[in-house]
């Protein structure tokens, strides 16, 4: 029994692969990360490598949006950055796409000695249901605090 407990001690409660969309200057847009949810912790990393980010679930805010909501928010941001030309950058909308945003008060990167404050990292998935399941799982854990 002791060996079985040792083997499954660090087993995540939930995990999935997410495609990075944007929000963090250190990462490339084509990055696919493995997100693991533990009892009170979340880890973001590349498969079979040490996590890039680890943090307590109580220290982040999580939201989900569909393509239309995300596009409207991004268009508003573009409008502030590039003015009237923001509308030239509009993308074709797919209402089926889902996005999940993680808002961090502070990020301490594990592979570098850098800290970032007030960061929002956005992901999507090839499987929109995965976003909803991950979000619901996180909210159930956060409700227990």
Q: What is the pLDDT of residues 68-93, one digit of tens each?
A: 887 776 655 555 554 555 445 555 55
Q: Tokens 């008060």 identify what position?
A: 105
Other CB atoms within a 10 A radius of the CB of residue 2 amount to: 6
Ordered structural domains, the chain, with CATH: 13-69+95-143 (2.30.29.30)
- CA-to-CA distance for 45 and 64, rounded, in angstroms? 20
Strands 32-37 and 98-108: unpaired
The token duo for 54 is 């680890």
Q: Which pLDDT belongs to residue 92?
A: 53
Q: Is the dihedral of CA 140, 129, 61, 102 positive or negative?
A: positive
Which residue has better confidence, 47 or 134? 134
Name 12's Cβ contacts closer than 8 Å, sequence gap at least 6: 36, 37, 38, 43
Q: Tokens 């499987």 identify what position?
A: 127
Q: Which pLDDT belongs to residue 6?
A: 46
Q: What's the number of CA atoms in the CB half-sphere (13 Å) around residue 129? A: 0
Specify the range with the lowest mean pLDDT, choosing from 17-21, 81-85, 132-136.
81-85
- CA-to-CA distance for 107 and 68, rounded, in angstroms? 28
Q: Tokens 């495609």 identify what position?
A: 19
Model confidence pLDDT, tens digit, residues 22-61 = 887 778 878 899 999 998 899 998 888 888 888 889 889 9
What average pLDDT does range 103-112 have in this prediction? 75
């Amino acid at each position: 029994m002791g060996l079985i407990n040792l083997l499954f001690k660090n087993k995540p409660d939930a995990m999935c692969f997410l495609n990075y969309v944007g929000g963090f200057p250190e990462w490339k847009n084509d990055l696919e990360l493995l997100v693991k949810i533990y009892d009170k912790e979340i880890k973001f990393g590349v498969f079979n490598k040490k996590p890039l980010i680890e943090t307590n679930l109580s220290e982040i805010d999580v939201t989900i949006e569909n393509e239309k909501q995300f596009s409207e928010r991004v268009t508003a941001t573009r409008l502030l950055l590039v003015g009237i030309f923001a509308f030239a950058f509009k993308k074709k909308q797919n209402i089926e796409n889902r996005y999940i945003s993680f808002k961090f008060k502070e990020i301490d990167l594990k592979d570098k000695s850098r800290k970032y404050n007030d960061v929002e990292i956005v992901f999507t998935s090839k499987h929109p249901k995965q976003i909803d399941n991950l979000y619901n799982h996180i909210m159930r854990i956060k409700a227990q605090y």
